[in-house]
Structure formats: structure tokens, C-alpha cells
Amino acid sequence: TDGATAVLLVSEEVARQFTDDPIYIIGSGQASDGALHSRPSLTSIGAAKEAGQMAYAMAGIKPQDVKIAEVHDCFTIAEVIASEDLGFFEAGKGHEAVEEGLTTRFGPQPINTSGGLKAKGHPVGASGAGQVVEVFKQMRGLAGERQVDRDVDLALTHNVGGTGQTAVVHIYERK
């Protein structure tokens, strides 16, 4: 795969030298899981659930508070699984949310307004930073034709390594 992206991660003091409206990371979680063949379910990634719960707890929010999410969708089903693991929809209901348009940029829970990893060629190594760039643009109102029709003050990114052996979730806030 081909691709590249860059993110400047700086202290609030440094950020304020460049903007009056910085984006903050207010929650972060990372978790690991065992091999795929030893998991109780193929329709859930335990590491993603745990990382999400850690990030929500650190941020002091619930899944319903998130205005937009970029999730790791290396395969079509991965977005549906992530939407359930992260608590946006009940287990087994994520596909219905997609079918009903709930995850589009016009729906109540926009997911992958960037088009997702596959739309960007899934540039392994740059995928997670690409997600950060998308939520930054959405939070700043700079996403152009992909811009959602609401104020995005809370956003989430979710990334997975391997076949779900590791997952990381970050929550961002524009104050």
C-alpha cells in the first residue's frame, strides 16, 4: 500500500502559539487479546472493547456522546464489529444501523466520513494518523464535502493491529 500522513502532537502551551482553538486528546486506551483461533467469538474484538472502555472512562464520557468516529475497517465487516464493540450499537445490530443510514455523515452516528481505510488504500502504518487527520478536519469544519452537519466537539479514533491482538482508542475534544 502507498500513503503517508503527518500529525503534530504538542503540548497545550506550544499549540496555543499557533491557534486559539486546539484539539485535545482527553481519553486514550490500549488493550491486547490472544490469537484469533482462541477467542470466544469471531464477531467481536475484545481488545477493542477494552480499549474503548478505558478511553471513555478517562474522558468521562459515554459512547453516545461521541459526535463522529473513524474506525479500523480493514474489511467491510470490521466497521460493523467496531461500531458494536465501541458501544455505538448493541451487539448484532451494527449491520442494521448501516442499512438504515445511521452511520452516514447525515445519520445520528457518523462513522468513517473519510470513506474508511479501504477508500484510502489502507496505507498500513499511516492508517491511524489518517484517521486523526479526518477527525481534526471534521472538528475544525474543514472536511469539505465530507463535513457532517453538526458541531463536532467530541470525536473518536479506533485502530487495530494484527487480527485484533491489539487495539487503541483515542477521544478528542474541541473546547
Please count the structural domains in the chain: 1
Q: Which residues lie below 8 Å from residue 7, measured CB to CB, with a gap of 6+?
A: 129, 132, 133
Q: Is the pLDDT of residue 17 over 80?
A: yes
Share of the chain above pLDDT 90, in %: 80
pLDDT band (50, 70, 90) for residue 6: confident
Per-residue pLDDT tens for 61-100?
A: 999 999 999 999 998 899 999 999 999 999 999 999 999 9
Predicted TM-score (pTM) above 0.85: yes
Higher confidence at residue 126 or residue 16?
16
Instruction: Return the H-helix or E-strand segment holding 139.
Output: helix 127-140
Within a domain: 119: yes
Within a domain: 57: yes
Q: Is the pLDDT of residue 1 over 70?
A: no
Q: What does the block give as the cell for 173?
A: 475534544
Within a domain: 69: yes
Within a domain: 2: no
CATH of the domain at 23: 3.40.47.10
Look up residue 110 and give its DSSP letter: -
Q: Is the pLDDT of residue 122 over 90?
A: no
Within a domain: 1: no
Residue range of the domain that includes 55: 12-174
Instruction: Return the H-helix or E-strand segment holding 50.
Output: helix 46-59
Q: Is the pLDDT of residue 125 over 80?
A: no
Within a domain: 150: yes
Cβ density class 73-93: b for 16+ within 10 Å, e for less: bbeeebbbbbbbbbbbbeeee
Within a domain: 70: yes
Within a domain: 5: no
